[in-house]
């Protein structure tokens, strides 16, 4: 086989190997990023719950203040009741007292309701904090795992880069430029095999003349339909 053609085949294999590292790196990072995202989401849940608790506590203290005012009023009323002279005054005072007592009941109910809400939210925070603790511990081991994987990938990638550099050093510049021009659009199918007289890049049948050239492998032959570089797999014994 033509030496230049062989070099292009080798280069296409090396380039394919280099591209294959990207998804490996992404996959390794994905595990860590997913765990990190989960941690951040729990942290923001805790933050939101804390704000909500503050709001509920503010409502509760408003009700407590109101309750204090009401009890003061009731106390004043009971003092006044000793000075009552007419039945009208008495009725009016009784009415006031009834209203105040109703308000006391309502405020107490409201405080109890708010306390339940606050309690529930505090429990939610506790649950969130304990899963956050677990996750943070796990995150460290995930990180270590990812770092180890990335180191291995980088080592392997470095080796492939060295192989590519070595190959590029021996290649002729014209052939390389030709290859790179096709690779811009054809990516990892720049150099493809011919099977059953068809280009395995575009899957179209090639004419007899081109097919004969590909079989000979004396020149660099391209597919007449798509322009990819063609070659025959070595004869299988």
Q: Which is nearer to Zn ion, 199 or 210 (CB)?
A: 199
- Shortest distance in whole angstroms from residue 177 CB to Zn ion: 20
List helix spans (H) across the chain: 3-80, 87-170, 173-186, 208-216
Q: Is 143 in the site for Zn ion (CB under 5 A)?
A: no
Give the whole-angstrom CA distance, residue 232 versus residue 195.
8
Site string for Zn ion, 179-208 (x = CB under 5 A): --------------------x-xx------
- Shortest distance in whole angstroms from residue 192 CB to Zn ion: 7
Q: Is 8 in the site for Zn ion (CB under 5 A)?
A: no
Find the helix packing angle between 87-170 and 3-80, rounded to 10°: 170
- Shortest distance in whole angstroms from residue 46 CB to Zn ion: 58
Give the whole-angstrom CA distance, residue 93 versus residue 103.
15
Give the whole-angstrom CA distance, residue 198 versus residue 201.
9
- Shortest distance in whole angstroms from residue 198 CB to Zn ion: 8
Q: Which is nearer to Zn ion, 171 or 224 (CB)?
A: 224
Residues 53, 114, 210, 223: which binds Zn ion (CB under 5 A)?
223
Q: Is 224 in the site for Zn ion (CB under 5 A)?
A: no
- Shortest distance in whole angstroms from residue 195 CB to Zn ion: 12
- Shortest distance in whole angstroms from residue 206 CB to Zn ion: 7
Q: What letter does residue 86 receive in the DSSP assignment?
A: S
Q: Is 222 in the site for Zn ion (CB under 5 A)?
A: no
Q: Which is nearer to Zn ion, 167 or 226 (CB)?
A: 226
Going by C-alpha positions, the residue among 55, 43, 52, 48 that lies closest to residue 128 is 43
* Residue 222 vs residues 2, 10, 86, 111, 193: alpha-carbon distances, Å: 14, 17, 117, 83, 11
* Residue 175 vs residues 34, 84, 130, 190, 201: alpha-carbon distances, Å: 44, 115, 62, 13, 19
Number of residues that bind Zn ion (CB under 5 A): 6
Residues that bind Zn ion (CB under 5 A): 199, 201-202, 223, 225-226
């Amino acid at each position: 086989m033509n030496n230049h053609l062989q070099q292009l085949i080798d280069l296409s294999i090396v380039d394919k190997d280099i591209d294959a590292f990207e998804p490996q790196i992404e996959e390794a990072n994905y595990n860590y990023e997913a765990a990190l995202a989960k941690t951040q989401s729990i942290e923001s849940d805790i933050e939101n719950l804390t704000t909500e608790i503050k709001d509920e506590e503010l409502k509760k203290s408003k009700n407590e203040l109101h309750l204090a005012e009401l009890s003061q009023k009731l106390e004043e009323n009971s003092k006044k009741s000793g000075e009552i002279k007419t039945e009208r005054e008495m009725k009016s005072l009784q009415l006031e007292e009834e209203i105040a007592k109703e308000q006391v009941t309502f405020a107490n109910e409201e405080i109890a309701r708010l306390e339940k809400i606050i309690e529930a939210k505090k429990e939610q925070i506790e649950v969130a904090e304990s899963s956050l603790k677990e996750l943070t511990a796990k995150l460290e081991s995930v990180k270590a795992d990812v770092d180890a994987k990335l180191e291995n990938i980088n080592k392997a990638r470095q080796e492939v880069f060295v192989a590519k550099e070595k190959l590029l050093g021996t290649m002729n510049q014209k052939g390389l430029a030709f290859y790179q021009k096709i690779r811009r659009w054809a990516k990892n199918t720049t150099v493809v095999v011919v099977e059953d007289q068809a280009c395995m890049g575009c899957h179209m049948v090639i004419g007899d003349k081109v097919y004969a050239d590909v079989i000979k492998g004396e020149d660099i032959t391209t597919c007449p339909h798509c322009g990819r570089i063609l070659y025959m797999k070595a004869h299988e014994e």
